[in-house]
Structure 1
Amino acid sequence: MTPWIDIVRDPLPGRRGKPRTSGLTMVIDTGLAPGTVRDIVESAGDWIDYWKFGFGTSALYSLDVLRSKMDVLSTSGIVPYPGGTLFEIALHQGHADRLLEKARELGFKCIEISDGTIEMDAPIRRKWIREAKRRGFLVLTEIGKKRAGLTMSVEQYATQLAEDLACGADYAILEGRESGRNVGFYRSDGSILEEEIGRLMERLPSPDRVIWEAPQKSQQEFFLRKLGVNVNLGNIPATEVIALEALRRGLRSDTLRLVLEPDGRSHSPLMAGIQF
C-alpha cells in the first residue's frame, strides 16, 4: 500500500498490476552488483517484469554472483534472462544446443533469440525458436541490427515479427540498444522515425506481444502517447524504473499534460478523458 493511496489517484488510469501480460517493463542490466539488484527490486520490483543480463555480461559473473542475482529476481516475480548476443556467440561457435542446456541448468526460464550482430537464415531462426519452446523456455526474439546505419524496412520488420510469433515466440523485441540512438527506429540524436513506426503499428498482428526498446524518456513518452499506459517497454535502465512507472501513470508532468486542458484544468473530475 502506498502512503498517498487515499489522496492521489493515477491521473492516467488503467495501469495493470502483476501478474500481467502487457504493460511489461524489461530492465537491461549491464553489470550491477547483487546488492544493488536487491535494493532496486525492493523499491521497484512491482514494476519490473523481465530482467535482461545485457549482451554477454552473464558470462563474466562467478556462479555464486549470477545465482545470487537470479534468486533475488525470481523470488520477486521477475523473469531474468541472458541477452541475445550470448545466444548469437554460442550459435556462431556451434554450441547453441549446449547454451540452452546450460541455461536450464542455471535456472533460466527465458531465452532471447536474436541476430543483431550475426547473420541467421530464416530456417535457422525458426529452428531455434521452436527448439527453445520445446524445452519449455519463454522465448523472446529480437528484431533489428545493432550496427549503426544498418536498417530494415517496415515490411521486413512486420514480416519477421509475424514469423517469430507464428513459430512460438512469446514476445518480439524491436531493437533499440541501450542507447536508443542511430539504431532501429531511432535517429542518431535519439529522435523517433514516427512515420515508419506508424506504418509498422498498422501491420502489427499482436501489439501486446511486442516490446519496444525505449531507453530514453522521450521515446517512452512517445509510445505511451501512441499505445497507452500498458505498452510493453524494454531496455529500461534499472535506476529509472520508478521514473518510467510515474510516466505511465501520469505522475510526471510529461504525461500529466495528456489529461489537462491548455489552461491546466482537467478534462474531467476523474482526469480520465484521455484517448490513445
Structure 2
Amino acid sequence: MTPWIDIVRDPLPGRRGKPRTSGLTMVIDTGLAPGTVRDIVESAGDWIDYWKFGFGTSALYSLDVLRSKMDVLSTSGIVPYPGGTLFEIALYQDKADRLLEKARELGFTCIEISDGTVEMDAPIRHKWIREAKRRGFVVLTETGKKRAGLTMSVEQYATQLAEDLACGADYAILEGRESGRNVGFYRSDGSILEEEIGRLMELLPSPDRVIWEAPQKSQQEFFVRKLGVNVNLGNIPATEVTALEALRRGLRSDTLRLVLEPDGRSQSPLMAGIQF
C-alpha cells in the first residue's frame, strides 16, 4: 500500500495487478550486477513480469552470478529468460536441443525463439516452438529482423504472429531492439510508422498475447493511448520500470492529458471524484 492511497487515485483506472496475463512489462537486462537487480526488484518488482537477459549476455555470467540474479527474480514472481539471440546461435551451431536442456538445468522456465539474425524457415520455427512447449517451457517468440526498416509486409508480420500463437507460443513479441530506432515499425528517430502499425493492430488475432517492444517513452505513450493501460510492453530498461508504471496509470503528464479536457481543468468521466 502506498502512502498516497487515500489521497490520489490513478487518473487512468483499471491497471491490473499480479498475477496478470495482460498489462505485462518485460525488462531488458544488458548486464546489470546482482545487487542492482535486487534493488530494482525491491522497488519496482510488482510491475515487472518478464526479465530478459538481453541477446547472449547470460552466456557471459559465471554460474554464481547468473543464479544469484535468477533467484532474486524468481522469488519475486518475475520470469527470467535468455534472449532469443542465444537460441539463434545455438540453432546455427546445431545445439538448439542442448540449449533447451541446459536452460532447464539452470532453472529457466521460459525460452524465447526468434530469427532476428539467423534465418529460420516456418517449419523449423514451428518445430522448436512445439518442442519447447512439450518440454514445459513458457514460450515467447519474436517477429521481425534486427535490421533497418520493415523487413516484411504488415500482412507477413500478422501471419507469423498468428502462426506462432497457433503453434503454442504463449506470447509473440514485435521486434524493437533495445534502442527502438531504425527497426521494424520504428523510424531512425524512434518515431512510429503509425499507419502500418494501425493496420497490424487490426489484423492481430489475439492482441492480449502480443508484446510490443517499446524502449522509448514516446513509444510507450503511443501504445497506452491506442491499446490502454494493460497493453503488453517489452524491452523496458530496468531503471525505467517505475516511470512506465506512472505512464500507464496517468501519473505522468503525457498520459494525464488523456483524461483532461483541452483547457487542462475540466474532468472527463474517468476523473470523477478526483480533485486537483
Which TM-score applies when normalising by structure 2? 0.97
Q: Secondary structure at the match of 1:240?
A: helix
Q: Give yes or no for contact 1:45–1:78 (8 Å, CA) kept in 2.
A: yes
Structure 1 residues not aligned, in runs of 5+: none
**CA separation in 2, counterparts of 1:104 and 1:30?**
22
Cα separation, 2, equivalents of 1:136 and 1:203: 29
Q: Report if the CA contact (8 A) 2:150-2:185 is conserved.
A: no
Deviation readout 1:87-133 (Å, 9 max, x if unpaired): 00000000000000000000000000000001101100000000000
The question of whether the paired residues in 2 share the 8 Å contact of 1:212 and 1:233 is answered with yes
Over 3 Å counting, the alpha-carbon distance change for 1:145 and 1:273 in structure 2 is farther
CA deviations 1:54-111 (Å, max 9, x no partner) are 0000000000000000000000000000000000000000000000000000000000
Give matches, 1:35-46, under 5 Å.
35-46=35-46
The answer as to whether partners of 1:80 and 1:110 remain within 8 angstroms in 2 is yes
Q: What's the offset of the Cα at 1:8?
A: 0.3
3-state secondary structure, aligned to 1:136: coil
Change (3 A) 1:180 1:96: same
Q: For residues 204-232 of structure 1, what are the alpha-carbon distances to aligned partners after superposition, in whole Å with 9 as ceiling and x for unaligned?
A: 00000000000000000000000000000
Give the secondary structure class of the aligned counterpart of 2:269.
Answer: coil
Deviations 1:36-58 (A, max 9, x none): 00000000000000000000000
C-alpha displacement at 1:149, in angstroms? 3.8
Q: Which residue of 2 aligns with 1:235?
A: 235
Q: Is the 8 A contact 1:259 1:272 kept in 2?
A: no
Q: How many Å apart are 1:263 and its aligned residue? A: 1.2
Change (3 A) 1:264 1:192: same
1:147 to partner: Cα distance = 1.6
> CA–CA distance in 2 between the matches of 1:274 and 1:101?
53
Residue 270 of structure 1 deviates from its aligned partner by 4.9
In the TM superposition, residue 244 of structure 1 has moved relative to its aligned partner by 0.2
Structure-2 change in CA distance of 1:217 and 1:273 (3 Å)? farther
- SS in structure 2 at match of 1:270: helix
- The gaps in structure 2 that reach 5 residues or longer are none
Kept after mapping to 2: 8 A contact 1:27/1:235: yes
Seen in structure 2, the aligned counterparts of structure 1 residues 98 and 71 have a Cα distance that, compared at 3 Å, is same
- Inter-partner Cα distance in structure 2 for 1:172 and 1:150: 17
How far apart are 1:152 and its partner, in Å?
A: 1.2
Q: How far apart, CA to CA, are the structure 2 residues paired with 1:114 and 1:234?
A: 15
Contact 2:261/2:267, CA 8 A, preserved across alignment: yes
Q: Distance in 2 between matches of 1:252 and 1:167?
A: 39
Identity %: 96
Count of matched residue positions in the alignment of Structure 1 and Structure 2 = 276
Give the deviation of 1:266 after TM superposition: 3.9
5-14 vs 144-153, which deviates more?
144-153
CA deviation after TM superposition for structure 1 residue 262, in Å: 1.1
Q: Distance in 2 between matches of 1:158 and 1:263?
A: 40
- Is the CA contact (8 Å cut-off) linking 2:34 and 2:68 kept in structure 1? yes
Contact 1:90 1:99 in 2 (8 A): yes
Instruction: Give 3-state SS (helix, strand or coil) of 1:139's partner.
Output: strand
Structure 2 match to 1:110: 110
Cα distance in 1, alignment partners of residues 274 and 10 from structure 2 = 13
Matched residue SS, 2:113? strand
Q: Displacement of 1:243 after TM fit?
A: 0.1
- Quote the residue 2:22 is aligned against: 22
Matches of 1:135 and 1:266, distance apart in 2: 55
- Quote the offset at 1:274 in angstroms: 14
Q: How far apart, CA to CA, are the structure 2 residues paired with 1:141 and 1:126?
A: 10
Structure 1: how far apart are the matches of 2:270 and 2:150?
46
Q: Answer whether contact 2:171 2:209 (CA < 8 A) is retained.
A: yes
Contact 2:149–2:187, Cα closer than 8 Å, also in 1: no
> Does the C-alpha gap of structure 1 residues 231 and 136 become closer, same or farther in structure 2, counting only changes over 3 Å?
same
Q: 1:123 to 1:13 in 2, by over 3 A?
A: same
> What displacement does 1:265 show?
1.9
The 3-state SS of whatever aligns with 1:58 is: helix
Q: Once superposed, which parts of structure 1, at least 4 consecutive aligned residues long, lie more than 6 Å away?
A: 272-276
Query: Cα offset for 1:264?
Result: 1.3
For 1:236 and 1:101, the matched residues in 2 are separated by 28
